[in-house]
Chain A
Amino acid sequence: EAGVAQSPRYKIIEKRQSVAFWCNPISGHATLYWYQQILGQGPKLLIQFQNNGVVDDSQLPKDRFSAERLKGVDSTLKIQPAKLEDSAVYLCASSLDSRARYGYTFGSGTRLTVV
C-alpha cells in the first residue's frame, strides 16, 4: 500500500510570512495526525482528526496555526504568521482507527526553516 504522502519536503520562509503543508494519508485510514518535531526533541502532537472532525487540538497554537481535513481525506496545516521558533519538521501520520492500537505510519515530513 502507498504510504503517507507529504509535500513540500523542504520550505524556507521569512518570519511573519505564511506557509502551508499538505498531507495525504494511507487509503482508508480514518485518523490523521499532525506532529511538530523540533531538532533534538520527540514529536509533539498538534492536532488529530477523526475523518473530517477534530478530536484533539489542545496543543495547536491557534493564534497562528490552523488545520483542516476536508472530505475526511487530505489535510492541510497552515502557519500564519510564522515565527523563528516554528522551525521544525512537520510530520503527518495516519492510522486505521482512533485507538491507534498498532501505532501509526508517518510521512516523510516537511522541514520548515524560518529565517
Chain B
Amino acid sequence: QKEVEQNSGPLSVPEGAIASLNCTYSDRGSQSFFWYRQYSGKSPELIMFIYSNGDKEDGRFTAQLNKASQYVSLLIRDSQPSDSATYLCAVNEGGADGLTFGKGTHLIIQP
C-alpha cells in the first residue's frame, strides 16, 4: 500500500523566516509530486508540483525532490502570516491512478 508520511506539527516559524516542510513516500515508482495548501474549512489548493530530482522554484516557494531517498520538501521563504495553513504532500505513480496524500503538516507563522 502506498504511504505518504508527513509530520503533523504544528510547525511554528517566525514571520520572515524560512519554513521547511518535509514528506517521505513509500512507492519507489512514484513519478509526480505535489504540494497543496489547505486553509481551515477550505479545500486543498495546488501550489507546486515537481517531477525531476533537484529544486524547482516559484516565487517564495521551492520544492525539492530526492528520489533516491524518497523524500520531497517544500521551502517557504520570507514566511507571512497568510502562509499559516495545513500543507499536504501528494504523490502519483504517473499512471492512471489518483494522487495519494499525506496527513498534512500544520504550519503556523508567528507575527
Closest Cβ of chain A: how far from B45's Cβ, in Å?
A: 8
Asked if B102 contacts A42 (CB within 8 A), the reply is yes
Asked if A103 contacts B34 (CB within 8 A), the reply is yes
A99 within 8 A of B: yes
Given the known inter-chain contacts A91-B43, A103-B49, please indicate yes or no for A50 contacting B32, CB distance below 8 A.
no
CB neighbours of A56 from chain B (8 A): 96-98
Prevailing SS type, chain B contact patch: loop
Alpha-carbon gap, A36 to B43, bound state (A): 11
Alpha-carbon gap, A104 to B98, bound state (A): 10
- How many residues of chain A are within 8 Å of chain B by beta carbon? 25
Prevailing SS type, chain A contact patch: loop
Given the known inter-chain contacts A40-B103, A42-B103, A100-B92, please indicate yes or no for A107 contacting B43, CB distance below 8 A.
yes
Asked if B43 contacts A99 (CB within 8 A), the reply is no
CB neighbours of B103 from chain A (8 A): 40-42
Asked if B97 contacts A48 (CB within 8 A), the reply is yes
A98 within 8 A of B: yes
Asked if B98 contacts A48 (CB within 8 A), the reply is yes
Beta-carbon contacts of A15-28 to B below 8 Å, as 1s and 0s? Answer: 00000000000000
Selected contact of B44 from candidates A41, A48, A98, A106, CB within 8 Å: A106
* Closest partner residue, chain B, to A97 (CB atom): B96
A101 within 8 A of B: yes
The 8 closest A-B pairs by CB, nearest first: A42-B101, A98-B96, A106-B43, A45-B98, A103-B46, A42-B103, A103-B34, A48-B98
State the A residues within 8 Å of B (CB): 33, 40-45, 48, 50, 55-56, 89, 91, 98-109
**Sample (19) of A-B pairs whose CB atoms are under 8 Å apart:** A33-B98, A40-B8, A41-B103, A42-B90, A42-B102, A43-B88, A44-B101, A48-B96, A55-B97, A56-B98, A89-B43, A99-B95, A100-B99, A103-B32, A106-B44, A106-B45, A107-B43, A108-B43, A109-B43
